[in-house]
Structure 1
Amino acid sequence: MVRFPARAPETPRKAGTRPWLIWLAWMAAIAVLYLLMVQLLAPAKATFSASDGGTLHVPRHRDGHFYIDGAVNGVPVQFMVDTGASIVSVSDAVAHAAALHGGRRAVFSTASGPREGRIVVADSVALGGFTLRGIEVGTGLAIGNDAQALLGQNVLRHFHVTMDGSTMVLRPR
C-alpha cells in the first residue's frame, strides 16, 4: 500500500482582500465610463470659416441648445446662445477673472426669478473667429458651472443669424 504524505492545511485568505479588489475594479470602470460620457455628451464645436468675411457654423447640441467657445476680456467661457437674453451674461467668478468691475446695478429677469447683478462694459467679447469691442455684459449669472455664459441679443445683432438644418450660421452684418 502506498501512503501519500498528508496535505498541509491551506492557509485562509486575508479577509477583505478580494472585496477590496472588486470594489477598486468597479471604481476604475465607473471612472472610465464617466470620462467617456463627458466626451460623448460635450457639445460639438462651432467651426469658423474665414472666407467671405467670416462665417461661424454652430451645430445644435443634443439638449437643443447652441454652444460657442469664446472669451470675455480674454477669460475663456462657453457661450450658450440665448435669443431671449438681452445682453451677454456671465457668472460672478468670470466677471472677477475678466476684471469686469464697477458698472451699474441691475435686476435681471431669469427663468429662476429676479437676480441682482451689474451691467459692465467689456473690452472684448470673442466667439469663434470674431471679436467685438465695448459690449455690455451682465454679471451674476448662476447656471451650470462658472465657465458657462449666455450670448444675448446685444452680440447677436452684429450678425445675420440663419438656420441651416440643425446648424446655426452667424455671418457679420
Structure 2
Amino acid sequence: MPGDDWARLIYYGLLLLVIGGALLFELSGRGSRGLRQIVLWAVIFAGVSFAANLWLEQEAQQVVSGGRVEIPVSRDNHFYLTAELNGTPVRFVVDTGATSIALGSEDARKIGIDPDDLAYIGTARTANGIVRIANVTIEEFAIGDIVDRNVPATVIGGDLDGSLLGMSYLRRFARVSFEGDLLVLER
C-alpha cells in the first residue's frame, strides 16, 4: 500500500475515533456541560475537515473512448492526464508550451529509468531557467486503448515536480481542442 494510502487510512481512523468517542461521551450523559461543548466543536471541526477533504479529492477523471481522450480542467486550471508508461501509471501536466515529454526523476525511476545513470548532455529552457536534460525512450506509452511504442522523451536533470506532456506527443493526435472545460485529444 503506497504511503499516501497509509496516511489517509490513519487519518480516517483517527477521525472515526474522535467522532465515535464524542458520540459515546455525549450519549452517556457524563461530563460537564463545558467539556461536552468542547467535544461537540471538535466533532463539528472533524466533520467539516472530512467533508472538505472528500470534496478536494474528487477530481474529475479523464475519459478514454476509442481514439478520443477527454481531460477535464482541474481546480488549479491545469489539465492532468494519467498514462501508463511501461505499465506504470504516471500523471502528466498537459503543457502545450513544452517541446517534448519531460519526466521528473521520480517518475523516471517509477518506469524503470535510473536518472543517476543518464548522460545529461542536452539543455532545455524552462520557466525556471535552463536545465540539463537526458534523452530517453519510453518503451510503451498507453492512454487506455491508445498505445504508442518507443516514444522519445527527456529526463530533467533538475528539480521537476511531476512530469510534462509536451507537443512532441500531442502532435501524434489528429485533433487537439477545447470543448468548454475539456481538453479533447483525438486520433
TM-score (norm 1): 0.71
Residue of structure 2 equivalent to 1:169 = 184
CA distance in 2, matches of 1:88, 1:30: 39
| 8 A Cα contact 2:83 2:90, kept in partner | yes
Task: Determine the C-alpha separation between the residues in 1 that align with 2:172 and 2:137.
Answer: 16
Mark the structure with the bigger radius of gyration: 1
Query: 2 CA distance for matches of 1:112 and 1:61?
Result: 23
Matched, 1:58 2:66: no
* C-alpha separation in 2, matches of 1:33 and 1:97: 32
Aligned mates of 1:84, 1:100 — CA distance in 2: 25
Task: Kindly state the Cα deviation for residue 24 of structure 1 after the two structures are TM-superposed.
Answer: 4.1
CA distance 1:163–1:132, change in 2 (3 Å):
same
- Aligned twin of 2:102: 89
Percent identity for Structure 1 against Structure 2: 27
Check whether the contact 2:98–2:167 (CA below 8 A) recurs between aligned residues: yes
Picking from 17, 37, 42, the partner of 2:55 is 37
Q: Superposition RMSD on alpha carbons, in Å?
A: 2.7
- Give 2:160's match in structure 1, choosing from 116, 121, 142: 142
CA pair 152-90 structure 1, distance change in 2 beyond 3 A: same
More strand by share: 1
Unmatched segments (≥5 aa) in structure 2 = 1-30
Q: 1:154 Cα shift? A: 1.6
More helix by share: 2
CA distance in 2, matches of 1:65, 1:161: 19
Q: CA deviation at 1:82?
A: 0.7
Match of 2:46 among 23, 28, 31: 28
Determine the C-alpha separation between the residues in 2 that align with 1:104 and 1:136.
15
**Structure 1: runs of 5 or more not aligned:** 1-12
Aligned partner of 1:127: which letter? I
- Consecutive aligned runs of 4 or more in structure 1 exceeding 6 Å deviation: none
**Structure 2 CA distance, aligned partners of 1:128 and 1:25?**
42
Give the CA deviation at 1:88: 1.0
Instruction: Indicate if the aligned counterparts of 1:100 and 1:122 stay in contact, CA closer than 8 A.
Output: no
Q: Is the 8 A contact 1:68 1:128 kept in 2?
A: no
* Contact preservation (8 Å) 2:123, 2:130: yes
Report the TM-score, using the length of structure 2 for normalisation. Answer: 0.66
Partner of 2:142: 126
Aligned residues: 151
Does residue 46 (structure 1) correspond to residue 59 (structure 2)? The answer is no
Equivalent residue, structure 2, for 1:7: none
Q: Aligned in 2, Cα 1:46/1:161: closer, same or farther, shift over 3 Å?
A: same
1:86 CA drift (Å): 1.2
